[in-house]
Structure 1
Amino acid sequence: MPGPRARLLVSGDLHLGRYPSRVPPGDPALTVEAVVRSLVDQAIERAVDAVVLTGDVADQSNKYFEAFGVLERALHRLVDAGIPVVAVAGNHDHDVLGSVAEAVGDGVRVLGRGQVWESASLERGGREVVRLWGWSFAGPAVHTSPLDDFPGVGDVPAVGIVHADLDAVGSRYAPVPMDALWATGAGAWLVGHVHTPRLETRDGRIVLVPGSLQPLDPGEPGPHGAWLVEVADDGTAAAEKLPLATVRYDALSADLDGAQDAVEIRERVARALRAHADAVREEAPALRRAVVRLTLRGRTPAYRAVERVAAEVVDTADTAVGGLTVAVDRVDDQARPALDLGRLAEGSGPAATLAALALRLDAGAPSESDLALIRHGVEALQRARRARVFEPLGRSDRLPPDLEAEAVARLRRQTFRMLDEVVGQSPSVEPTAAPLGPADS
């Protein structure tokens, strides 16, 4: 690709005013504001031609009191460094972003106010090098695609900026088909709204969803930060991720296959956490805290120790690994006893009954009586979710949205616990184990 015609630092969905969940409150290094300062530092250090913000810069619940000052200071730093800022408003900041831009003055522009496409030119040496096209929300919801009224890109290399829901037919947040973006001919589209970063390429052109600058909850896993977008003389574009976030959420598995006792289970878990910490720290040196949802898998003769170790992992104070703090937010116990379920189910008595239930649950083929137990579990989880006594603790959000799946998982774990206990206490039951293999792990 030829040398860059323009270099843009792109971010969006800052949601200033919010603080990441599952992390200790009050840590300045973990705030969105701290990462915004890093973004400004990067823009100045790299001497980019512009900073582009793809909407939802402020969070609706705190937009006036917390976002305004933070954003105004950041924008003033950029403008004082000679770096223009071009933004569009999203569904959260449609009625505040323009006010902040006006407070800063020249050098900050919100495109497309009133839901009408508008362009801004980036110039170098008196020559227009890139034209930025933008469209902004004028209210909290838009049910049609902004691309329906897109005017066309013209002869100058073009970059489009929009806050929209990609390929989400029926969305109330400006649904835009991906194909419609490609059809415009723009070298790059920068799309806010979705918090998970995404980069699509086609014939040297890109569609970039920068995602949230700082992830705000476990639903935003993986590395986050800003993106450096370079537009070439021929109008094509490329993007590079800059991992500026100080918080990261991930799902992680620990293999317990064959673990002989609680000591070995703890060692396996610790090893998995250390390896994860080393990997993410290398990928994103700015990270200060990694929040993990840990799944325990595999067949172990020490199954009865798994639950105890899982509780220890969640209750244990955070682990520091080379300047990075690792915290386990939740443990999902998917391990199982090292037993031959098929052979046990062929017998009679409690062990056979429990083994048959475990096999049905693993196969996803519960009987009518199993379904009754699952329904009972769902009702219990629903009562826990509605219980007002837990509201001040904020614990109801720890329950997953799919209560039926959670009820099945809990029934499965209880079945394995009881089966392991019965086999361990019954001399007449042989605790046989089939050879370990991928299907049984």
Structure 2
Amino acid sequence: MTAADTADTVTYRHSGLVCTDHTLSVPLDHARPDGPRITLFAREVVAEGREHQDLPRLLWLQGGPGCPAERPHAATAWFRRALRDYRVVLLDQRGTGRSTPADRTTLADHPDAAGYLTHFRADAIVRDAELLRRALQGDRPWTVLGQSFGGFCTLTYLSHAPEGLEQALITGGLPTLTRHADDVYRAAYRRTLAHNDAYFARYPGDQRLADAVAAHLAEHDVRMPSGERLTVRRFQTMGMTFGMSASFDSLHYLLETAFVDTPGGPRLSDVFLRGLDAALSFATRPLYAVLHEPVYAQGGRATAWSAHRVRAEFPQFDAEAGGPLRFTGEMIYPWQFEEDPALVPLRDAAENLAHRTDWPALYDPDRLADNEVPVVAAVYHDDMFVDREHSLETAAHVRGLRTWVSRAHAHDGIRTDAAVLDRLLAMARGETSDCTA
């Protein structure tokens, strides 16, 4: 990284924070440093009054894939806790936020969109992070906090650039190191069914409502405010949020607005349709859909629309089978690239990626077995998004990794409870032992 690769920084203050925006020019393909380049954006935040102190930096690796980092004004529980000890670096992972965006507007006419998108997985994100670290603090290592997919990236960091890490903190994001995507989604469907059972146990009246909505959609051409058709299968994907702490309640209060009486009979309300519209569109995170399965691809095997294929093993999700409606979870299907306008221009690229076999390895099991970086991880006992058993299997293969299995938190525990980061930091300091709580 040279001075020419860094743009001018911009610093400003608000709400007791001092924010500095950084932009860097980085290679699209880190194996070709002289090839095409993209822009990387990161925001560094420090508590006002401490901006001149030599505080260590903590890099926040956001969940996803394909989601920008939190913004300071909306950052959640972990953020204010982290500012007590660190300068926090909020990285917009490549393709998201203010980093060169990858979406339908930038990729629709790209001559090789699929080839371009092969450079947007965890291995490239880690190389970006290393260029950023060197630009900000030279050879000094930093602490990484990885949430969900950010935890996947952290395992890649430990595999490919452990010299950049002083310590690693992971929440809800210990991926399987070797299993195929089929194994991941097979386990995910089982967990999603369990979350459906829990949801309808909490709100038993919602089963009748969900079934009625599905029946109405099967018989009518219903359009959301965006003009997109709302199909039964698309309505089922509302279960994607089930793993978050308040998602049951949010869906319940949306469902209770579903129908209004009209002279022509019951119809779905604008309030309900607008809520679904906002939740179901991938316009704000198209890479999440495009890369969701490729983040598991390695070892020469294609994912081949794994979630779509494995779903056939779970007839409970078949809305035409006559049983009670069940919501699907964190799965992406090929038909979504036909029904969501934000994804339609990316359909061919997604199809290409689904059948690609030349993916490089994301993790180095041998290097992880010899790991020397202090690593601690919160594993959420009933996590809908990341399988507990897969996580513990991985933890056993990373030398020195210490886990805390929490029954008290959902997948977004780091965002809802500052005590999660407190616990991880205490574990990293050796003040708290591994346990299940």
TM-score, normalised relative to structure 2: 0.22
Bigger strand share: 1
More helix by percentage: 2
TM-score w.r.t. length of structure 1: 0.22
